[in-house]
Structure 1
Amino acid sequence: MLTQVDRQILKSWRQYAIEPKIAKFTGRVMRNTGPRIALVGNCQSFGVAYAMKVLDPSATVDHFSMIARARSTMGLFAKTLETYDYVFSHDFLDGHVRGGGSEELRQRLPKTIIFPAIGFAAFHPDLVYIHDPTRLHGFVAGPIGAYHSAIGLFAYRKGLSLEMANALFNENVFDALGYLDMWNDASRELLDAARDRYGVDLSAELMNWSRRGVFMYSTVHPMSFVLFDLSKKLFEKVGLKPRAVNFNYYDIHDLARSEIFPIYPPIAKRYGAQGGYMFKLQNHHISTTVGDFLNLPQFLASCYKSYSAHDLSKLSNARVDAWLADEATSGLLMRLARENFVAGLMPTL
């Protein structure tokens, strides 16, 4: 079965080698007369590609999604991308294309610009992943895909009831775990990585994003205006002039179709935003169904059910492992769970 990358390679050669000849023969005026731009990367790359098309409607902007295993080889992939004027790529590991990852691509095609993926944990400090060693760069799936709650996973591994697990979702627990004070570290991590590894200064952009309020759907899924600003920086990096445009008017919230992790109310309050405990399930077929959501008790119950299908040794996460190994942290969380439960502190929405 062909992946998106395989299909896009075929489409690219048709656009590059066949359609101009047909247009010349038929007299049809080509619409896209600007630069050819290729975007290679993870789930954020479509948003960057779309923003670049908005910035230059005359450009041919093609998106190559590095998520599934492609049948195509790195040789064919690099040869295809060579036909583009500009190639931008996220870091990606071996296995998505046969024969190498982003480092191999850059060696074969030096004009490739590696650009940062946006990650920011301050709004969603409880979000963690459980790695699945049996799958290529894969993770254990829960009720909302790869996103898990560190607190919920801790509760399950300690054998707490669902009610006691629910009682852990309170401000005193978040404060004890440092969840309320992650802004500076998250900002530093984002800015340092973008600047030092990719040569992109996002300091002014981060300030503007924070003024707009919440700008992430999860730790790894930024809102589309974030990707628009990143696209402008990439245009400037290669000497392309981004045109002035009201992006809000043409905005597509592509990543909102995926899972959305809530911003817990005490954390949201810290940043002057509205929070809640509503977990959104992915819905990539929004034209046919409105999708579904889980409140906190439903989410925890679904997590417990999915975890029960795995051996405890397969439910490892470095942060949760550290909590469990540290008697002081583990004891504190257990005490707070009991106290909150007795006090009736059982958030739901």
Structure 2
Amino acid sequence: MLSPLDKEVLRSWSRHAVAPRLARVMGRPGTRRGARDDGPRIAVVGNCQSYGVAYGMKLLEPLATVDRFTMIGHSYVTLRALARTLATYDHVFVHEFLPGHLRNGGDSQDLVGLLPKTRLFGPVCFAAFHPDLVFIHDPTRLHGYVTGPLGPYQSALCLFAYLKGLSLDMANALFNENVFEAVGYLDMWGEASRELVETARDKFGLDLSAELMSWSRRGVFMYSSVHPMGFVMCDVARKLLESAGLSPRAINSHYYDIDELARSDIFPVYPPIAKHYGVQGSYLFKCENHHISQGVGDFLTLPQFLARCYEAFAGHDRAELANPRVEGWLADEASSRILIKLARENLAAGLTPAL
């Protein structure tokens, strides 16, 4: 089966090479699909955030031709085939990616070696709103993760409770402010901000400090620690276009917003954390729904989410459920003792939130 990247490479050659040549051979003027627009040709290659960046670039440069190439999963496309495809574009922006996506290997640095005009950029990651969200790497898959009710998004506290053999009620009782304070969930803003700004600046040459301040003033700007909202992606698109010497126009991006990542899983901002930052929070987990024409999708309350997680964990061996943070809690007797003590106290006090 062809991957999204395979289809996008074929589509690019069809639109920008095959169709115009056929039109000339047939003596017909180039069709809109095959003709080049008045603006530059721009390629955006990357993970799930790349659609938002590509859409933002098209919004900011409406005369440009903007094509997105999805670097998720494995494809039949080789590194050289991808480089040849991208060489036909005026500007190429690429998320940093690891080997495993392309046939015969190759990563983003290898692509830069073949195509020096490539501009690398990183994803927007910010954990302060969702400090409990972790990933459990699946050792049987190169870039895969253990999945649960919200795909790869897992709760560190839930995993800890499961591995300690706690009941679902005890697990539920962990989701309170005293526990969040004990594990440092209320002190993540500074570290998350530094990581975002310094990585973008030092590794990719983008200064997002002013943008981060602007996003923060709007309240919550992430659907999860790795999925930003649409206006964030539009700001990143603007910075990238400016770095390439283009002059994107001013536009109310919210008016034209198509928030692709809103269709994916959404991890809630827990109420005590939300209160700490002066925003609205909940314990309502949204399940992905990429086919909105077929239904409105599903949500899970905290007890439902925990129960589904326990069911998913039960399908794996203990060795497959490893996460560095949780392993640290389990290995430290004092930390484990404090968490279990707080859970018991909260349960006795009836502090088992649902929404």
CA–CA separation in structure 2 for the residues paired with 1:23 and 1:201 = 44
Normalised by the length of structure 1, the TM-score is 0.98
- What does residue range 291-310 of structure 1 map to in structure 2 within 5 Å? 291-310=297-316
Contact 1:90 1:116 in 2 (8 A): yes
Counterpart for residue 18 of structure 2 = 18
Paired residues of 1:32 and 1:57 also in contact (CA < 8 A): no
Inter-partner Cα distance in structure 1 for 2:333 and 2:142: 34
2:17 counterpart letter in structure 1: A
2:101 is aligned to: 96
Alignment of 1:1-349 (within 5 A): 1-22=1-22, 25-28=27-30, 30=35, 32-98=37-103, 99-349=105-355
Give the counterpart letter for 1:96 in structure 2: H
Structure 2 counterpart of 1:238, which letter? A
Q: What is the CA-CA distance between 1:31 and the residue it aligns to?
A: 6.5
Matched position secondary structure for 1:131: coil
Alpha-carbon displacement from aligned partner over 1:62-104 (angstroms, at most 9, x marks no partner):
1111112111111111111111111100111111112311111
- CA distance in 1 between counterparts of 2:235 and 2:346 reads 43
Code of the aligned partner of 1:333? L
Paired residue secondary structure (1:14) = helix
Letter aligned with residue 301 of structure 1: A
Distance 2:6 2:309 in 1: 35
TM-fit CA distance, 1:19? 2.9
Encode CA deviations 1:165-207: one digit per residue, 9 max, x unaligned. Answer: 0001000000111101111110001001000000000000000
Query: Which letter does structure 1 place at the counterpart of 2:332?
Result: D
- The amino acid that maps onto 1:336 is L
Q: Deviations over 1:261-308 (max 9, x none)?
A: 000000001111110100111111011111101000000000001101
- Shift of residue 61 of structure 1? 0.6
Q: Find the aligned partners of 1:32 and 1:292 in 2 and give their Cα distance.
A: 41
Kept after mapping to 2: 8 A contact 1:31/1:58: no
* TM value normalised by structure 2: 0.96
Task: Report % sequence identity.
Answer: 63
Q: Is the 8 A contact 1:94 1:101 kept in 2?
A: yes
Q: Distance in 2 between matches of 1:297 and 1:70?
A: 38
SS of 2:281's partner is coil
Contact 2:16/2:36, CA 8 A, preserved across alignment: no
Distance in 2, matches of 1:23 and 1:230, equals 37
1:88 touches 1:112 (CA, 8 Å); kept in 2? yes
How far is 1:134 from its partner? 0.5
State the distance in 2 between where 1:150 and 1:108 align: 41
Q: What is the aligned-residue RMSD (CA, Å)? A: 1.1
Amino acid at match of 1:54: L
Q: Secondary structure at the match of 2:294?
A: coil
Is this contact kept in 2: 1:123–1:216, CA < 8 A?
yes
2:188, 2:131 → 1: CA distance? 7
Cα distance in 2, alignment partners of residues 201 and 69 from structure 1? 32
For residues 196-225 of structure 1, give each alpha carbon's deviation from its aligned partner in whole angstroms, at most 9, with x where no partner exists.
Answer: 000000000000000000000000000010
Whole-Å separation in 2 of the counterparts to 1:23 and 1:116: 39
The residue type paired with residue 47 of structure 1 is G
**Quick one: which amino acid aligns to residue 26 of structure 1?**
R
- Mapped to 2, the partners of 1:294 and 1:247 lie a distance apart of 31
Gap regions ≥5 residues in structure 1: none
Aligned residues: 349
Q: What is the Cα deviation at residue 33 of structure 1?
A: 2.3
Deviation at 1:21, TM superposition (A): 3.6
Distance 2:133 2:285 in 1: 12
Per-residue deviation at 1:22? 4.8
In structure 1, what is the Cα distance between the partners aligned to 2:319 and 2:81?
Answer: 40
Residue type matched to 1:274 in 2?
Answer: Q
Asked if structure 1 preserves the Cα contact closer than 8 Å seen for 2:121 and 2:204, the reply is yes
Question: Following the alignment from structure 1 to structure 2, what is the Cα–Cα distance between the partners of residues 328 and 64?
Answer: 48
**The residue matched to 1:138 in structure 2 has which SS?**
coil
Q: Equivalents in 2 of 1:119, 1:57: separation in Å?
A: 27
Native 8 Å contact 1:46 1:63 kept in 2: yes
- Secondary structure of the residue aligned to 2:140 is coil
Residue deviations 1:240-265, cap 9 Å, x none? 11012111111011001000000000
